[in-house]
Structure formats: C-alpha cells, structure tokens
Structure 1
Amino acid sequence: MILPIVAYGAPILRAVAKDIEPDYPGLPKLIEDMWETMYSSNGVGLAAPQINKGIRIFVVDSAQIFENLEPEDEKYPDAPGIKQVFINAHIKSLGGDEWAYNEGCLSIPKIREDVYRSEEVTLEYMDENFVAHTQTFIGVTARVILHEYDHLEGKLFIDYLKPLKKRMIKGKLDDISKGKVRVDYRMTFQK
C-alpha cells in the first residue's frame, strides 16, 4: 500500500525515533509498504518518520542512482549500490572527507541544495529478519544512508545549509508546510 509522505512542518520530522522489537506489529507489511511508497514517489530512500511512524527504520535503494552511470566510473566506488532495510540503526563512526552533493527530500519537495557529508559511515543495525550487522558504507550509498539516518534523529538536509541559504528558501518551506505545493505522490500536511 502506498502511504502518504509527511510534509515539512510536521513535528514527527523533528522527533528522535525509537528502537523497535522484533515483534513490532505488522513489521513485514510496513517494510513492504515503505518500499512501495518510496518507489512510487521516485525516492532512493525512505525513513519511517516520513510516513508518520516514530520508529528507527529506513529503506535504501542506492542501486537506482547507478542505473544510468558507467559502472567503472571511479567517482562512484560504491557502485552498483545496495537495496537494504535498516532497523534500529546507530552510527558507530564517520570517516573520510566531507563532500558536497545535491540532495532533495520527499518531505521537502521541489527544493534541492548541496549538502556536505562524510564519505564513509559505519553503522550497527538490524536487517528485516532482525539479524545484527556492523557495516561500513561509502560514497553515494553512505550519503543516502546518512540522509535517511538523519530522519531518525529529527534532522533534515536543510539543517546543513548556511543561514543565508535557509533565509532564501524560507518562503518555499512555509508553502510546503501549508500544503501549497504540487507533487505527483500522496502527502499529508500539518494543519
């Protein structure tokens, strides 16, 4: 089932999400719905707070980013990407240089800005079967993971922008929070 994406301005996007237990009600269906919602919205990642769930789960399909790129391109050492579920994720470490990449967010449609993030992240997390993993991710895949991880911490990509840039997009953000934006996927807006 395709779920509505929570728009900028909703308090859940600023709350720290909670870890869940393996018996979380309807977890397999929730994961299936998250994949369906992400793909129908043309996203490469989706975090539970974006569908109004204050829990620590996100899905990432960075392989979509590489579909139209040359696989041997050295700019993308993480090609061909991953398709993965992350439950109860917690960052162990960040590494490498910070680098800029133009990011957007399904909860903040029609705004894209360059954001600096670390080129490497090591995470502890559970997969959809609640098997524990500690894994390091690099490149664009690390960036998508860090973007989705931020949603679990109540952070948004716009929080990384300089004050002047934030002031420049304030009107657009206000419009999004009031529902004055057209998108081709379902959204819910703060009343």
Structure 2
Amino acid sequence: MMTEYESIQELPREKLLELCEMFSKNWLALDGLWFQSIEQKRGMDEAVEHDVNAWARFTETEARRIKEFLGLPELAGLEGLRRALAFRLYAPLNRHETVLEGNTLTFYVRSCRVQDARARKGMPYHPCKPVGLVEYTNFARVIDPRITTEAVSCYPDMTDESSRCVWRFTLDPQNA
C-alpha cells in the first residue's frame, strides 16, 4: 500500500508512533543478528563478551540523549530514571512496569522480545544477566550517579517467574 507522505515531518501522530515501533523492531533485529552471528561462529561466551562491550558504551549514549530529550536535571533521581526507562529504544517492544517505593525503583520486564523470539525459534535463552548488569548500571549512573543497580531476577539466575527480568535501583542521597 502506497502512502501519500513524502517525509517523516508530514506524518500524523498515529503514523509517527507506528514508525517508532518499526524503528525499534529494526534496531532490535540488527542487535540480535550481529549477536547470533558471533554466537554461531564463536560460541555464546564470546558473543556475550562482545555484547557486554557494546552495551557498556551504547547505553551511556542512549541515557545521555534521553536525559537531554526529557530535560531531566543532573541528579534526576529515581523518578527521572523511571521516566527515562520508558524512552529506551526497546521500550515500545517489551511490556514493563515500574514500582517506586521510598529510595527503591523496581523495574519488571514482563515480556521481552529477545527471549520470546529465542523461545519461538527453539534457541536457548540469552544469558542476559552480565549484559544487563552493565547496561542498566551504566544507564542509571548517567541519569543519576547516586543510583546503584542490582539484578533481582535475570536469566540464567531467575527468581521471579512472573517476569523475563527484574532490576532494582536504589538511590543513595549520600553518594554524590
């Protein structure tokens, strides 16, 4: 079906949202394909090593851009982190929820497109905990350096079967 639009600037809100989701899917497909390429040629351990290295740098860039886009202050706190997590590249693709209690934000990834796709294809789950520790720690640190990160449940160390992964962020106002 041809569309009458000639540029992104002409798109109405509904089409822009659809385009954002398509861009997210395209980006995630590229991320998965390069990972699987290394996984098939060199094995899971080396693929995870490269994944950790890539995410360590990418997530800081992503967090800085989101922080600027949202106009968050330097010390954005847990509320700033909660908002920023909703603007990550894969946010439109994964179902997630956040619970803010005192100085702790818990982030539940209820559905994960990566793990769901691997399960559909009969592939082993991605051992995302080492990557996630670097990814979420660096992301949170850019949003507010007083935030520490811990994996509550993440493959291969699953403790919460209601989610694909669970992360806990704690704000230490003394640690600036």
Superposition TM-score tier, normalisation by shorter sequence: under 0.3
Which structure's CA Rg is the greater one? 2
